[in-house]
Amino acid sequence: MARVLYQGHGSLRFTTDAGTVVYLDPFLGEGYDEPADLVLVTHQHHDHNAIDLPSRAPGCVVWQNTDAHPSPDVWVARTFGDVTVEAVQACNDKHPMDRCVGYLLGMDGVLAYCAGDTSMTPQMAELSSRGIDYAFLPGDGVYNMDAAGAAACARIVGAAHNVPIHLKPGRPYGETEARRFARLAPHALLIRPGETVTLQASGSPQRVRSR
């Protein structure tokens, strides 16, 4: 089964059962020692695009927002080995839709929605039909929606597990914001920086280790 390490802020590391390593929005935290097979970037703000931070495996692909969303009406889907990646809408007043994306990641039978820096988007209602297992939603209330807004998005998207991230600008985590999200959002799952969770298509997530 696939695993996710939450490195803090908006940074995540996914590892599939076959050993494929995917970094999303590298910026801070630990856990960049595993060589990357794929590095994904949602947009070009400095706290999301530290693409030289992870070590890279031979043949590593760096896929950024300009690759995933090359023109205003095009969002690209691709397969990288055993991982499928589909770009989806991401935007708010500080993040123009033509410069930002979120991603749907499919691996080991699990579908994860990595929303990127966003507030509610028109596409979120459509995502509710996709059977998303894990939604990673920002909730800092400064550059994105706040915890209440993220909880509202969680209700629309309808994922089996909703994980708040990007909770305090420039910091690994915001405990107050996380706990507020947990009170308001359905199926909330709090993952702290340095914690790894096994991703499951059904049932409860299994916390396997902390760094």
From first to last of the 211 residues of the chain, give the pLDDT tens digit.
999 999 999 999 999 999 999 999 999 888 999 999 999 999 999 999 999 999 999 999 999 999 999 999 999 999 999 999 999 999 999 999 999 999 999 999 999 999 999 999 999 999 999 999 999 999 999 999 999 999 999 999 999 999 999 999 989 999 999 999 999 999 999 999 999 999 998 655 555 443 3
Within a domain: 67? yes
CA distance 6 to 29: 9
The reply to whether 209 falls in a domain is no
Across the beta sheet with 77-80, the strand order is 77-80, 83-88, 102-107, 110-114, 134-138, 161-165
Instruction: Read off the CATH number of the domain in which 27 is found.
Output: 3.60.15.10
Half-sphere exposure (CA, 13 Å, Cβ side) for 186?
10
Please identify which residue in the block is written with the tokens 């820096």. Answer: 117
Domain of residue 169: give its range: 3-199
The answer to whether position 18 is within a domain reads yes
Does 205 reside within a domain? no
Token pair of 210 as six digits: 């902390």
- Residue 204 within a domain: no
On whether residue 170 sits in a domain, the answer given is: yes
Per the structure, the count of domains in the chain is 1
Query: Quick check: is 210 in a domain?
Result: no
Structural tokens at position 59: 């043949």
| Alpha carbon distance 39, 74 (integer Å) | 20
Vertex 100, ends 17 and 96: CA angle to 5°? 160
- pTM of the complete model: 0.95
11 is a domain residue: yes
